[in-house]
Amino acid sequence: MSLVNTGESQVDVAIVGGGLVGASLALALAPTGLKTALIEGVAPDANTQPSFDDRTTALGNGTRRSFEALGIWSQVAPQAAPIRRIHVSDAGRFGFARLEASEHGIDAFGYVVTNRVLGAALRAAITRLPNLDLHMPAKCTGVALHEGDVELATEPTAAPLRARLVVAADGADSKVRAAAGLAATIEDYRQVAIVSHVRSSRPADGTAYERFTQEGPFAVLPLFDGSYGVVWTLAPEAAERVLALPDKDYLAALQGEFGWRIGRLLAVGKRNAYPLRLSRAETLTGQRVVLIGNAAQGLHPVAGQGFNLGLRDAATLAELLAEVVRRDGSRADVGAPEVLREFVSRRSADRDGVTRFTDGLVKLFGDTRPGVPLIRDLGLLLFDLSPTAKQALSRLSWGFAGRTPRLGRGLGVMP
């Protein structure tokens, strides 16, 4: 199926990028009545969308509430594994910490779902929206900024698409961000995440493991069918060697690195590798352009916060635009400078806090200077003994700081 408009369009909002965050924004904007276009290079029924692969995403409780409000959680929940316990350790050392969701009055710290499941639920929902023009497959090839709107050139559509506001949801290497002249800083962690699903003699029981090794974090996450999602972080050269191993040797190497907490490793599925970088736009907005998700900030997966942060970008933007529509009606200018300034204000504390937190974890546990590992392990043990510190960390699944958007509270963007 290919849905591409052939005539010149005029829309309120054009979203460039139909991955998890872009599709979520399109769905969130539906109740506002704003005329919206979504530009995505992969057709709605294709299985090749790079965001909708077998990587696992840890959804915080605020994200679950958002998906409930958007009407798709019922499709996701049957294949979502709750995280009821978290075990953190410093490999080869004495530091560790344990968290139990029940001790904090919650059923789970979050839920582990494959991106493929999330993508299928979102795609099914957005293809039914009456106010959404789907340009799929289509590629944005040019961005021209004007005082009253933005003109987007797309292929294969011949006529330009004009929008009062353009939302860049096209990833860490965002072409829209570059075309709008918005700079970004990029730090290469010199790490590669090898992602796989494994089966073990001991089925998953709701425990997520985060082990910090000298080469990077090592995460083992429960999946709904009793298997595990593994994220093994290695230096690029080591990752290349591990990827080349036959399945049997890979499982042996994995067992040697992680140990026997989940029993004997029996089988592994397809392995994929993803270079890890920290990318951060210096500003979130330009002339009638706003950045969300990885176009705004791409994080290390160490704490599983990247998608949750990006979804709060989308939820906050949708709520803000809904407020503009309620206030100004048909005269609403959703790309006005004051609207974009308000978006930046609402997102700054959460964005800065989560970015510092995840980057700090990577660097703290990668620091091998004399004395640092000892201090780090003592800190882990003190954290394990502190109910107050654990309670503070459990709240991270709702957001780091600032106001929680309406969607994150299980409410629609329109009151």
369-387 mean pLDDT: 71
As a whole number of angstroms, the distance between CA 181 and CA 191 comes to 29
> In this predicted structure, what is the pLDDT of residue 136?
86
Is the model's pLDDT at 149 over the cut of 90?
yes
What is residue 8's predicted lDDT score, i.e. its pLDDT?
A: 46
pLDDT of residue 172 exceeding 60, the answer is yes
Q: Tens digit of pLDDT for each residue in 132-143?
A: 999 988 999 999
The H or E element that residue 249 is part of is helix 247-258
Mean pLDDT in residue range 372-377? 72
Query: Which DSSP symbol is given to 396?
Result: G
42 — pLDDT class (breaks 50, 70, 90): confident
pLDDT at residue 121 tops 80? yes
d(CA 85, CA 98): 7
- Residue 47 has what pLDDT? 60
> Could you tell me the pLDDT band of residue 152, with boundaries at 50, 70 and 90?
very high
Percent of the chain having pLDDT more than 70? 89
Pairing of strands 36-39, 272-281: unpaired
Q: What are phi and psi of 202, to 5 degrees?
A: -120, 105
Predicted local confidence at residue 7, as pLDDT: 41
Contact yes or no for 15/26 (Cβ under 8 A): yes
Residue 385: which pLDDT band, with cuts at 50, 70 and 90?
low
Task: State residue 303's pLDDT score.
Answer: 76
Q: What is the pLDDT of residues 15-41, one digit of tens each?
A: 999 999 999 999 999 999 999 999 998
For residue 43, the model assigns a pLDDT of 76
Q: Which tokens hold the place of 179? A: 């075309």
List the domains of the chain with CATH numbers.
9-81+112-186+278-367+402-409 (3.50.50.60)
Q: Which one is predicted more confidently, 301 or 363?
A: 301
At residue 372, the 3 state secondary structure works out as helix
**Predicted confidence (pLDDT) per residue in 302-343, tens digit:** 878 889 999 999 999 999 999 999 999 878 899 999 999 999
pLDDT of residue 401: 66
Nearest to 23 by CA among 140, 164, 167, 119: 119
Assigned token pair, 284: 């979130």
Q: Report, as an integer, the average pLDDT of 227-233.
A: 94
Q: Which of 90, 294, 112 is nearest to 186 (CA)?
A: 294
pLDDT at 4 > cutoff 50: no
Confidence at residue 105, expressed as pLDDT on a 0 to 100 scale: 85
Q: What is the C-alpha separation between 281 and 226, in angstroms, rounded? A: 39
Please indicate whether residue 183 or residue 369 has the higher confidence score (pLDDT): 183
Token pair 């890979």 in the structure block, residue: 250
Confidence band of 3 (pLDDT split at 50, 70, 90): very low
Instruction: Kindly tell me the sign of the dihedral angle through the C-alpha atoms of 39, 41, 47, 50.
Output: negative
Q: What is the pLDDT of residues 50-107, one digit of tens each?
A: 665 678 899 999 999 999 999 999 999 999 999 999 988 887 676 778 888 888 888 9
Sort strands 85-90 and 207-213 into parallel, antiparallel or unpaired.
parallel
* Average confidence score pLDDT of the chain: 88
Helix (H, G, I), strand (E, B) or coil at 366: coil
To the nearest whole percent, how much of the chain has pLDDT over 90?
65
Helices 61-70 & 20-29 angle (0-180, nearest 10):
50
Helix intervals (H) in 53-96? 61-70, 73-76
Q: How far is CA 341 from CA 225, 289, 310, 348, 387, in A?
A: 45, 11, 18, 11, 38
Give the phi and the psi of residue 3 in degrees, each rounded to 5. Answer: -115, 105
Three-state DSSP at 154 gives: strand
Q: What is the DSSP string of 292-346?
A: -GGGTEE--GGGS-HHHHHHHHHHHHHHHHHHHHHHHGGG--TT-HHHHHHHHHH
Per-residue pLDDT of 251-310, as tens digits, reads 999 999 898 999 999 999 999 999 999 999 999 999 999 999 999 999 988 878 889 999
C-alpha to C-alpha distance for 61 and 365, rounded to whole angstroms: 26
State pTM to two decimals.
0.90
- Identify the pLDDT of residue 111: 95
Burial label for 58, CB within 10 Å (0-12, 13-18, 19+), is buried
Q: What angle do CA 405, 407, 412 make, to 5 degrees?
A: 120
CB contact burial 113-125 (16+ within 10 A = b; e otherwise): bbbbbbbbbbbeb
* Number of continuous H segments (helices) and E segments (strands) in the chain: 11, 20
Gap between the Cα atoms of 140 and 130, Å rounded: 22
